[in-house]
Amino acid sequence: MDIILGIKLNDSVLIATSKAVTRGISVLKASDDKTRNLGDHSAMAFTGESGDTVQFAEYVQANLKLFSVRQNYELSPKAMASFVRKELATSIRSRKPFQVNVLIGGCDINKETPETSLYWIDYLGTNVELPYAAHGYAAFYALSLLDRHYKPDLNEEEGIKLLQLCNKELSTRMPIDFKGLRVKVINSQGVKEYDDLTAL
């Protein structure tokens, strides 16, 4: 019952994840963080089997950190997405594949003009760059709203209003309380985190 949403704006990327951890009809935790920072200007949101998700996210985070320490260089979001895609594609061909779906958002500060991007990656290793994306139950309800209201030149305030619209729709239609959305704003200044979308 996880919710993961991503929206690429004109100068930043928004990633929102549900805070509830559920098993069957029970809510096990109401303040879970389903994201990991991959660098100073990038973050990854993940959903899937509970053991796989945390293990895979920490593996990716540690390997990308190791690369940046060794090379004294932060990979671009595109390169990070390619690394994650390769790891998932290799995993699916093993005896114990990871059942993890991922969104990666980031800002490439190595370019002359910093450029934001959002990548949708599924457990089969499919990697697509999109202006907005969703995994989990959010895809059933929120993608139609994003189709209708998304514009490439949205600023941060307009993007947050669009996320709030998605949150309202999900709250109305979903049969469980997903305990609200945690939001990360990624831009050329870094990654800002907001614990509660309704407070913005």
Q: What is the pLDDT along the chain (200 residues), one digit of tens a residue?
A: 689 999 999 999 999 999 888 887 788 888 889 999 999 999 999 999 888 899 999 999 999 999 999 999 889 999 999 999 999 999 999 998 999 999 999 999 888 888 999 999 999 999 999 999 999 888 889 999 999 999 989 999 999 999 999 999 998 988 888 888 999 999 999 999 998 877 76
Given a contact cutoff of 8 angstroms between Cβ atoms, the answer to whether 142 and 163 are in contact is no
What pLDDT, on a 0 to 100 scale, did the predictor assign at position 73?
A: 87
What pLDDT, on a 0 to 100 scale, did the predictor assign at position 26?
A: 82
What pLDDT, on a 0 to 100 scale, did the predictor assign at position 25?
A: 78
Given a contact cutoff of 8 angstroms between Cβ atoms, the answer to whether 4 and 167 are in contact is no
Amino acid identity, position 12: S
Six-digit token string for 76: 């671009």
Residue 193 burial by CB count (10 A; 0-12/13-18/19+): exposed, middle or buried?
Answer: middle
- Note the Cα 171 to chain centre separation in Å: 19
What pLDDT, on a 0 to 100 scale, did the predictor assign at position 74?
A: 87
What pLDDT, on a 0 to 100 scale, did the predictor assign at position 114?
A: 87
Decide the pairing of beta strands 35-39 and 100-108: unpaired
Amino acid identity, position 59: Y
Instruction: Identify the helix (H) or strand (E) that includes residue 194.
Output: strand 190-194
Residues in the chain, total:
200
What pLDDT, on a 0 to 100 scale, did the predictor assign at position 116?
A: 93
Domains of the chain: 3-199 (3.60.20.10)
From residue 82, give the alpha-carbon distance in Å to each of 52, 87, 127, 181, 182.
Answer: 19, 9, 8, 27, 25
